[in-house]
Structure 1
Amino acid sequence: MNEAQHTNPLHGITLKAMVEHLVERYGWEGLGERIAIRCFTHDPSVNSSLKFLRKTPWARAKVESLYLHSAAHPRKSSAAPPADPPQPG
Protein backbone atom coordinates (compact mmCIF):
# COMPACT_ATOMS: atom_id res chain seq x y z
CA MET A 1 0.00 0.00 0.00
CA ASN A 2 1.14 3.55 -0.66
CA GLU A 3 2.89 5.18 2.32
CA ALA A 4 1.12 8.48 1.63
CA GLN A 5 -2.25 6.81 2.30
CA HIS A 6 -1.08 5.68 5.74
CA THR A 7 -0.29 9.25 6.75
CA ASN A 8 -3.27 10.93 5.05
CA PRO A 9 -5.86 11.71 7.77
CA LEU A 10 -8.55 12.06 5.10
CA HIS A 11 -7.99 8.62 3.58
CA GLY A 12 -11.30 6.81 3.28
CA ILE A 13 -13.44 9.86 4.09
CA THR A 14 -15.62 11.04 1.25
CA LEU A 15 -16.21 14.69 0.44
CA LYS A 16 -19.91 14.07 1.01
CA ALA A 17 -19.22 12.73 4.51
CA MET A 18 -17.11 15.82 5.28
CA VAL A 19 -19.82 18.23 4.12
CA GLU A 20 -22.54 16.34 6.01
CA HIS A 21 -20.41 16.33 9.18
CA LEU A 22 -19.77 20.07 8.91
CA VAL A 23 -23.44 20.86 8.26
CA GLU A 24 -24.45 18.74 11.24
CA ARG A 25 -21.91 20.47 13.46
CA TYR A 26 -22.23 24.10 12.31
CA GLY A 27 -25.42 24.26 10.22
CA TRP A 28 -25.43 25.92 6.81
CA GLU A 29 -25.31 29.41 8.29
CA GLY A 30 -22.35 28.62 10.53
CA LEU A 31 -20.56 26.83 7.71
CA GLY A 32 -21.09 29.86 5.46
CA GLU A 33 -19.64 32.10 8.17
CA ARG A 34 -16.53 29.92 8.46
CA ILE A 35 -16.07 29.36 4.71
CA ALA A 36 -17.60 32.23 2.77
CA ILE A 37 -18.55 30.60 -0.52
CA ARG A 38 -21.93 30.88 -2.25
CA CYS A 39 -22.68 27.17 -2.19
CA PHE A 40 -22.90 27.46 1.63
CA THR A 41 -24.62 30.85 1.86
CA HIS A 42 -27.16 31.00 -1.00
CA ASP A 43 -29.75 28.20 -1.23
CA PRO A 44 -27.31 25.55 0.10
CA SER A 45 -27.63 21.82 -0.40
CA VAL A 46 -25.23 18.92 -0.11
CA ASN A 47 -25.48 18.11 -3.82
CA SER A 48 -24.85 21.66 -5.06
CA SER A 49 -21.96 22.02 -2.62
CA LEU A 50 -20.38 18.75 -3.79
CA LYS A 51 -20.66 19.82 -7.42
CA PHE A 52 -18.87 23.11 -6.68
CA LEU A 53 -16.24 21.63 -4.36
CA ARG A 54 -15.27 18.90 -6.84
CA LYS A 55 -14.50 21.58 -9.45
CA THR A 56 -12.81 24.08 -7.13
CA PRO A 57 -9.60 22.89 -5.44
CA TRP A 58 -9.13 25.95 -3.20
CA ALA A 59 -12.66 25.63 -1.79
CA ARG A 60 -12.27 21.88 -1.27
CA ALA A 61 -9.00 22.53 0.60
CA LYS A 62 -10.85 24.90 2.97
CA VAL A 63 -13.55 22.28 3.61
CA GLU A 64 -10.93 19.60 4.26
CA SER A 65 -9.06 21.89 6.64
CA LEU A 66 -12.20 22.77 8.61
CA TYR A 67 -13.20 19.10 8.71
CA LEU A 68 -9.80 18.11 10.12
CA HIS A 69 -10.01 20.88 12.71
CA SER A 70 -13.53 19.87 13.77
CA ALA A 71 -12.58 16.18 13.94
CA ALA A 72 -9.54 17.00 16.08
CA HIS A 73 -11.63 19.17 18.44
CA PRO A 74 -14.90 17.35 19.06
CA ARG A 75 -17.59 19.19 20.94
CA LYS A 76 -18.15 18.17 24.51
CA SER A 77 -21.24 16.06 24.99
CA SER A 78 -24.11 17.89 26.60
CA ALA A 79 -25.79 14.67 27.73
CA ALA A 80 -25.24 15.38 31.45
CA PRO A 81 -26.40 18.75 32.78
CA PRO A 82 -23.80 20.75 34.68
CA ALA A 83 -23.76 20.12 38.41
CA ASP A 84 -25.13 22.83 40.67
CA PRO A 85 -22.45 24.57 42.72
CA PRO A 86 -22.53 23.77 46.46
CA GLN A 87 -24.78 26.06 48.46
CA PRO A 88 -23.16 27.96 51.34
CA GLY A 89 -24.69 27.06 54.56
Structure 2
Amino acid sequence: METQANNPLHGVKLEQIVTELEAHYGWEYMGHIINIRCFQDNPSVKSSLKFLRKTPWARTKVEYMYLKMLKKLPPKKES
Protein backbone atom coordinates (compact mmCIF):
# COMPACT_ATOMS: atom_id res chain seq x y z
CA MET A 1 0.00 0.00 0.00
CA GLU A 2 1.27 3.48 -0.86
CA THR A 3 1.92 6.07 1.81
CA GLN A 4 0.49 9.50 1.18
CA ALA A 5 2.63 11.74 3.35
CA ASN A 6 2.03 14.80 1.16
CA ASN A 7 -1.73 14.36 0.81
CA PRO A 8 -3.50 16.51 3.45
CA LEU A 9 -6.80 14.76 2.68
CA HIS A 10 -5.44 11.29 3.43
CA GLY A 11 -7.47 9.78 6.26
CA VAL A 12 -9.98 12.64 6.38
CA LYS A 13 -13.56 11.50 5.83
CA LEU A 14 -15.95 13.46 3.64
CA GLU A 15 -18.32 13.85 6.60
CA GLN A 16 -15.54 15.53 8.60
CA ILE A 17 -14.79 17.88 5.71
CA VAL A 18 -18.43 18.96 5.31
CA THR A 19 -18.93 19.30 9.08
CA GLU A 20 -15.82 21.44 9.54
CA LEU A 21 -16.64 23.65 6.56
CA GLU A 22 -20.18 24.20 7.82
CA ALA A 23 -18.91 25.06 11.31
CA HIS A 24 -16.33 27.47 9.90
CA TYR A 25 -18.25 29.14 7.05
CA GLY A 26 -21.92 28.20 7.43
CA TRP A 27 -24.29 26.83 4.79
CA GLU A 28 -25.13 30.22 3.29
CA TYR A 29 -21.52 31.09 2.46
CA MET A 30 -20.77 27.56 1.24
CA GLY A 31 -23.80 27.72 -1.07
CA HIS A 32 -22.64 31.08 -2.38
CA ILE A 33 -19.11 29.85 -3.14
CA ILE A 34 -20.11 26.42 -4.49
CA ASN A 35 -23.40 26.69 -6.34
CA ILE A 36 -25.01 23.37 -5.45
CA ARG A 37 -28.55 22.91 -4.16
CA CYS A 38 -27.59 20.70 -1.20
CA PHE A 39 -25.84 23.76 0.32
CA GLN A 40 -28.61 26.22 -0.59
CA ASP A 41 -32.00 24.56 -0.18
CA ASN A 42 -32.68 22.97 3.24
CA PRO A 43 -28.99 22.05 3.74
CA SER A 44 -27.84 19.19 5.95
CA VAL A 45 -24.73 17.10 6.30
CA LYS A 46 -26.66 13.98 5.25
CA SER A 47 -28.02 15.48 2.00
CA SER A 48 -24.63 16.99 1.20
CA LEU A 49 -22.82 13.68 1.67
CA LYS A 50 -25.35 11.87 -0.52
CA PHE A 51 -24.87 14.39 -3.34
CA LEU A 52 -21.09 14.74 -3.03
CA ARG A 53 -20.51 10.98 -3.09
CA LYS A 54 -22.31 10.77 -6.44
CA THR A 55 -20.88 13.94 -8.00
CA PRO A 56 -17.08 13.99 -8.42
CA TRP A 57 -16.85 17.59 -9.71
CA ALA A 58 -18.71 18.92 -6.66
CA ARG A 59 -16.66 16.81 -4.27
CA THR A 60 -13.47 18.19 -5.83
CA LYS A 61 -14.68 21.75 -5.24
CA VAL A 62 -15.57 20.98 -1.61
CA GLU A 63 -12.19 19.34 -1.00
CA TYR A 64 -10.46 22.37 -2.53
CA MET A 65 -12.47 24.70 -0.29
CA TYR A 66 -11.46 22.59 2.72
CA LEU A 67 -7.78 22.76 1.80
CA LYS A 68 -7.98 26.54 1.42
CA MET A 69 -9.64 26.76 4.84
CA LEU A 70 -6.85 24.68 6.40
CA LYS A 71 -4.19 26.97 4.92
CA LYS A 72 -5.86 30.04 6.45
CA LEU A 73 -6.18 28.56 9.96
CA PRO A 74 -3.33 29.22 12.39
CA PRO A 75 -1.03 26.25 12.94
CA LYS A 76 -1.85 23.94 15.84
CA LYS A 77 0.36 24.34 18.90
CA GLU A 78 2.10 21.21 20.03
CA SER A 79 1.69 20.33 23.70
What TM-score, normalized by structure 1, do the two folds share?
Answer: 0.79
RMSD: 1.2
Distance, in Å, in 1 between the alignment partners of 2:31 and 2:9 is: 22
Runs of 4 or more, structure 1, over 6 Å off, are: none
Q: How does 1:5-84 map to 2 (within 5 A)?
A: 5-74=4-73
Distance, in Å, in 1 between the alignment partners of 2:40 and 2:13 is: 22
| Equivalent residue pairs, number | 74
Structure 2 unmatched runs, 5+: 75-79
What TM-score, normalized by structure 2, do the two folds share?
Answer: 0.88
Percent same amino acid among aligned pairs? Answer: 55
Distance, in Å, in 2 between the alignment partners of 1:26 and 1:33 is: 11
Distance, in Å, in 1 between the alignment partners of 2:26 and 2:6 is: 29
Which structure has the larger Rg over C-alpha atoms?
1
Q: For residue 7 of structure 1, report the CA deviation from its aligned partner.
A: 2.1
